[in-house]
Amino acid sequence: MKKLNWIRPLTDVQHYPLIYSAFEATNIKNGEKINLRIEDLHEESFNEALKLMKNYYFKNNPMLSSKRIENDEISMNEIFESWKEILQQKISIVCYEENSNEIIGLNFLSVITEEEFDMKPTNGEVYAEVKRVSRFLKDIFFNPFDHYCVKQILTGVGSYVSDKYNNLEIEAEMLKVRADIGKMFNIQVTSEIFPTEISQNAAILSEFEENFSIDYNKLPKIVCEGFFPGIKETKLKIMSRKF
C-alpha cells in the first residue's frame, strides 16, 4: 500500500494518547452497567489490535464474508498490510473497561484524500471487487469530497466490539468521538459505507446523515458486479457527518 500523506502533527505528540470519552455500556451477559473509556490507540497496542481485528473483521463484514475472503489469502494480507499503514497515522481509537487495558472495542480510522480513496489493491480478487464497488458508488452516486467541498475526510476502515457488550452503545460512542478528533485536527467531514443495520443505527445515534442507500440485491444490476451471495443484511448506506 502506498504511504498515506496525512500523519498526526508532531505538535500533538505530547497529548498522545488522549482520552476522548468516558461512558457506560451494558454487559449483555448479566445486564450490568460497565464504565468504559475511549482513547487513542497507542503504538504499544498495535499488534494486539491488529490480531483482534483480523480475527473479527473478516467474519463480520458482510461483503467480505459473503465472498468467503478466508479463501483469498492475498486479499486478507492486503487488507492487513493496509491496516498496518493506517495505524501509523496514529488517529485510530480503542475502548477499554475502566481501570483495565483489555480491549473492548476498536475503530481503525484514517484521514484520506480522494486520490487515496481510489488507490487500487494489487492482486486480491475479493478485496479488489469490494474496492471497485466502493469507487463506483462514490463516482456515480455520492462523492463526499465533492459534496462537502473538502480535500480530505476522516473514515473508518474496520471496527470491533467484544461480544460481551452492547454493540450498538459502544459503536455509537466511538462514532461520536470522531467529532472531537475532526475538530482537533481541522478535518471537517467523516464519511464511509455502513454495511450493516447495527452500524447504520449507531451512525444515526451519532448524528450522521444518510447520503445514499442501496439494497444489496440491486448492486449487481447497477455496478455490473458486486454480487454478494447469501448476505443477510438488507442494504448498505453511505453516511456522513460534518463537524
Q: What pLDDT was estimated at residue 15?
A: 76
Complete edge-to-edge strand list for the sheet that includes strand 19-26: 19-26, 33-40, 93-97, 103-113, 152-161, 189-194, 235-242, 209-215
pLDDT digits (tens, 9 = 90+) for 147-164: 999 999 999 999 999 988
Pull the grid cell for residue 128.
Answer: 479488489
Q: What pLDDT was estimated at residue 228?
A: 86
Q: Is 213 exposed, middle or buried (0-12, 13-18, 19+ CB in 10 A)?
A: middle
Whole-structure pTM value = 0.94
Q: How many Å apart are CA 119 and CA 146, to the nearest integer?
A: 18
Q: Which amino acid is it at 73?
A: E
Q: What pLDDT was estimated at residue 182?
A: 97
More confident residue, 122 or 69: 69
> How far from 16 is each of 41, 60, 186, CA to CA, in Å?
9, 30, 17
pLDDT digits (tens, 9 = 90+) for 38-66: 999 999 999 999 999 999 999 999 999 99
pLDDT digits (tens, 9 = 90+) for 208-231: 999 999 999 998 887 766 688 889
pLDDT digits (tens, 9 = 90+) for 11-46: 766 678 999 999 999 888 888 899 999 999 999 999
Homologous superfamily of 10-242 in CATH?
Gcn5-related N-acetyltransferase (GNAT) (3.40.630.30)
Pull the grid cell for residue 104.
Answer: 473492548
pLDDT digits (tens, 9 = 90+) for 73-132: 999 999 999 999 999 999 999 999 998 999 999 999 999 999 999 987 668 999 999 998
Q: Which residues, in sequence order, are bridge partners of residue 209?
A: 240
Burial state string for 114-135 with b = 16 or more CB within 10 A and e = fewer than 16: eebbeeebeebebbbbbbbbbe
Closest C-alpha among 198, 204, 161, 207 to residue 180: 207
Where do runs of H (alpha helix) occur along 61-113?
A: 62-66, 73-87
Query: Could you tell me the residue ranges of all domains in the chain?
Result: 10-242
Closest C-alpha among 62, 75, 64 to residue 121: 75
Q: What pLDDT was estimated at residue 27?
A: 83
